[in-house]
Chains A and B, each alone.
Chain A
Amino acid sequence: MDAPTATEQSAFVRRFSPAERSLHWLLAVTFFAMLATGLILYLPALAQVAADRQMWKSIHLGAAIAFWGGTLLLLLSAPGELQRTARELDSFDEDDRRWLRWAVRRGTAEPPQGRFNAGQKLNTALIAGLMVVFTVSGTLMYLQETDASFRGTSAILVHDVAMYVAVPIVLGHLYLALVHPSTRHSLRGMAIGTVRRDWARRHHAKWEREV
C-alpha cells in the first residue's frame, strides 16, 4: 500500500503531553528565576543592587523549592507518564549515536530519530544531573551558613562550576528553540503540544511513522 499523502493526514501531530510541557515550563521559569537571583548574589557588578541579600536569597531558595515541589506534584498527578518519558530519554540506539556524530561532523543526511533526538536526550540527562548538583551544593551552602559541621565541603565552588556548565547548555538550547531555522519549529510543540507533520517527518521520522 502506498504511504498516505500529506492531505490524507492531519497537518499537525501531538508531540508533548500536558504533563511534559508543565514540567518543561516549570523548570524554565524557576531556572531563570534562580539564575537571575543567583547572578545578583554572585556578580560584584551587581553587589550594590543586592543590598538586601537576604531577600534575593529567599527568592532563590523559593524558586528551588517551587521547582522540586512542582516536579513532585507533576509526578504524582500523572502517574507513570513522566516515567515513560524518562525511559524514552534514557535509551540510545545506533541511530542516536550516528546522529551525535552527524551533529558534530555533518556531511551525511540526518540519521532518523524518534520523538526525541539524541541531542535532546543528552540535554535532558545533563540538565537533570546539574539540577541535582545545584540542589545538593546549594543545600550545603544554606546549611553551612548557620552550622559549622556542614563546612569543609567545596559547596560554593561546585555550585559556581555547575552554573558555568549549565548556562552554555541552556543558551544553546535557547538558540535551537528560538533562532535556528530547522529546529525552532519545535517551540510550538512545547508551547501548545503539536508540531507540523511534515517537519516531524523530516526530523523525527521514526516517531512520525507511528503517530
Chain B
Amino acid sequence: MRDVRMGRRVFLGVVGAGVAGLFAGSRLSRAAAPLGSVVPNALHDLVPDGWRIYSVNPPWPVFDPATYRLTVAGAVENQLSLTWDEVMQLPQDTQTTDFHCVTGWTVGNVHWTGVRLQHLWDMAKPTAEARYANFISMEQPYVDTLSFKQTLLPEVMLGHSMDGQPLSRAHGAPMRLVIPEMYGYKNVKWLTRIDLVQTLNPGFWEQRGYDVDAWVGRSNGY
C-alpha cells in the first residue's frame, strides 16, 4: 500500500518533538536528573564540560601589575586605590565552589584563592549610604551589582587564583568577583573598581532583562 504522507509525518514528528522540548525541556531534564547516576560514564563524557569564555567587548583587557589599581570609592570614609602588591598583602582565603552559567553549563569544584570583601570594607569604612556595591570591569561597559549584604555572604570573594594558578586573562586577570550562589554574569571579570552607592544600578545583563538577584536555580526562569 502506498502511503503518500509518510515523509511529512516523520518531518512533523521531529518538528513537534523539538517544539515540545522548548516548553518541557527544563522540566524533562530536571525529572531525568536522578537518572544521571545510572547513565554510563561514556555517555556523560559525550557532553563536554568546562569553561566557556564570554566577553562583551573583545579583545579581553590586559592586566599590567605595574599600573593596575583596585579602586574602592563612593559612599566610603576612605577612598582606596590599591596597587596589585597591596591587594596581595590583604588577608587571603581559599574555597572550593561550583560555578554555574545562566546558559546551562556548570564547572564543579573550582578552587579559588582571594580576598573577602570584609577586609576592603574594614579599610574603606562604608558609610550608612552604602546599600549597593557596583563592581566595574576593565572591559567596558561591563558592570554588575550586589547589595551590601550580599557582598558579605560566606562564599563571596575577589578571586585572583583559580585551581592553583594566577587567574588567566581569559578568566578575568588579575581578579574577578566570585559569588558561587549566583550565575556567572554576576561574577565580574577583570575587576578594577568598586563603587558603593545608595541606589541600585542594574548590571550589564540586567539592563538586558536578566534578574538582579541571580540565585542559582531560583532565578532567570529556572
Contact = CB atoms under 8 A, between A and B. Distances in A.
Interface in A133-166: 133, 136-137, 140, 145-149, 151-158, 161-162, 164
A93 B3 contact: yes
A142 B221 CA distance: 17
Contact of A137 (B6, B18, B60): B18
A54 interface: yes
* Interface size grouping (class) on chain B: 35 or more
A49 to B, nearest CB: 9
Interface string B40-71: 00000010111111110011100000000000
B25 A52 contact: no
Interface in A33-51: 41-45, 47-48, 50-51
A31 to B, nearest CB: 16
| Chain A interface SS verdict (over half) | helix
A121 B23 CA distance: 29
B14 to A, nearest CB: 3
Contact of A51 (B21, B59, B104): B59
Given A47-B50, A93-B2, A125-B14, A155 B22 contact: yes
Given A51-B58, A129-B13, A151-B221, A42 B7 contact: no
Interface string A69-113: 000000000000000001101111110100000000000000000
Given A125-B14, A133-B14, 19 more contacts: A50-B52, A51-B170, A52-B58, A90-B5, A91-B2, A122-B10, A126-B10, A129-B10, A129-B15, A130-B14, A140-B22, A146-B209, A148-B209, A153-B23, A154-B24, A154-B25, A154-B26, A161-B21, A162-B18
13 contacts: A45-B48, A51-B170, A53-B54, A86-B7, A90-B8, A92-B2, A126-B11, A126-B14, A128-B14, A129-B12, A129-B13, A153-B22, A156-B104
